[in-house]
Amino acid sequence: MQTNTNYGKIDEQKLHDFMLKALGDIASTLSAVLVIIGDRLGLYKAMAESGQPITSEELAKKTNTNERLIREWLANQAAGEYIMYDASNGKYSLPPEQIMALADENSSVYILGAYQAIRSYFKDEDKFVEMFKTGKGLRWGEHHHDLFEGSALFYKPNYIENLVNSWIPSLEGVEDKLKQGAKVADIGCGYGISTILMAKAYPNSKFYGFNNHGHLSSKLKRE
C-alpha cells in the first residue's frame, strides 16, 4: 500500500521495515548502557562467581545494590539473552560462554572493553560536531579517557592469546633476538599491556613503552 505525503509516495511496507530496524537500533543502544552498568557494578562477575542460578535478591545482596533496579536489569539482560532466566524458580544464570565474554578479563573473547570505548564516543559528541563543521581532525589523546581504557581492555585478550604465542614467533629471527637479549621500543604502548607481556616472556631483553600523550598516567582500573 502507498500513501501520498509532502515527501512523495510512501511505501507502507518499506516504512514499517525501516521503523522496526530503527527501533531495534534504539533498543540495542539503550541495552548497551545497561551492559556498561552491569560491568561497573560487578554484576556479571558476581553471577559468575556464584557458580549457580541466582535471584534478584541474592544478586543485589552480593553487590550491595538496589534489588528493585537489579530486577529490571536482569529482565533486560534476559530479554537480550546476555543471561538466562528459569521461570520455574525465578532465578537467573550466566552461561559459561557469556562468562568468557562478560566476566573474565583474561578470556580471549572478553568484550566489555568495547562497550567502554563506545561510551567515550557519546562523551566526545561535541568534539565530533566541531570536527564536521571545521574539517579539523581529533588527536587520539584528545578523546575521552574511556576510549583509551576501553581499547586497552578490548585488545588485551588478543595480546594475551596471540602476541607471544603466535605473532612474534611468526616474524623471522625476531624471537631469537628477544630470547638472546635486545632493546625494544613499544611505540604507542597505551597502558603497556603488550609491553609487559613481552617483558615477562623475554626476560633477557629490555622493553620501553612510549606514548604521544599524557592521559594514561592514571593506572588502568582493572590492572
pLDDT tens digit sequence for 12-69: 888 899 999 999 999 889 899 999 999 999 999 999 999 999 999 999 999 999 999 9
Domain-wise residue ranges, the chain: 7-104
Work out the number of other CB atoms within 10 angstroms of the CB of residue 185: 11
Q: In CATH terms, is domain 7-104 a member of 1.10.10.10?
A: yes
Flag whether the pTM goes above 0.85.
no
Dump pLDDT digits (tens) for 131-161: 999 999 888 888 998 998 899 999 998 899 8
**CB-based burial label for 14 (10 Å; 0-12, 13-18, 19+):** exposed
Sign (positive or negative) of CA dihedral 122, 126, 131, 133: positive
